[in-house]
Amino acid sequence: MTYDDLIPVIRTLALEAGDKIMEIYDSADFGVKVKSDDSPVTAADEAADALISDGLRAAFPDVMLVTEEQAESHSTTGDTFLIVDPLDGTKEFIHRRGDFTVNIALVENGVPTRGVVYAPAKNRMFYTQADGQSVEETGALDKNTVGEITPISVSDADNAALLVVASKSHRDQATDDYINKYNVKDSKSAGSSLKFCLIATGEADLYPRVGRTMEWDTAAGHAVLTGAGGQVVRFDDHSPLKYGKDGYANPFFIALAPGVDLKEA
């Protein structure tokens, strides 16, 4: 598998999954179930997962695949793999708030190197090109024709007036206490992996996550942010966030433009 092979496949699968998700999102009603970890799952999660995982296995049968909605994949181990969250921000989907995304990433040697984040309700798509540069594609977002591509890059952060983004569904006092260590000009909330993309485009400088996440929640956004010049570090010691961890669970982390003067936890 080469990057030139990978990128068109994950772009197309993300768009196809987005169409399936929006078909269910726009329906009069959709069922919500609760998984063993008490998180919600809908028919849209399951349909998007089936479409993406089938497509990836057909295109890259020799590459390990980890996907949120297939529990048996969570016991696989390795440091190089494809990882999928077919619908990140299920709570946003259920409440029809639009801040949900399709996420597909390639992790190599524990590092997310390529990925796509697609927000179908917002008509925004971000991905890494084969050369590693992250872009936002605009226009009709057609599965068969690539639209206008704009390279994206992180801000030149002003530490006297930072732009902070935090979780819409999981913001808590610990998050606010950490944010208060900075000189903040503006703070906004966003759901799902869009927070990484807002830093990647320079619309925000800092995203601290003091709460539970899994690698499939973050890998694609992490790859997009890296390809735009940003970084993701552990909350505790500011070392790079690595992937392929036991159970695919993340520690607390901080995503940032590199000009941010990081504060201690």
Residue 263 carries which DSSP code? P
Distance from C-alpha of 154 to C-alpha of 229, rounded to nearest angstrom:
6
**Which residues contribute to the annotated binding site?**
68, 85, 87-90, 217
Neighbours of 26 (CB within 10 A): 10
Instruction: Give binding residues for Mg(2+) as ranges.
Output: 68, 85, 87-88, 217
Residues annotated within a binding site for substrate: 68, 87-90, 217
Pairing of strands 134-138, 111-119: unpaired
Quick check: helix, strand or coil at residue 219? Answer: helix
What phi and psi, each to the nearest 5 degrees, are found at residue 81?
-170, 160
Residue 2 vs residues 60, 114, 140, 149, 238: alpha-carbon distances, Å:
10, 11, 27, 21, 31
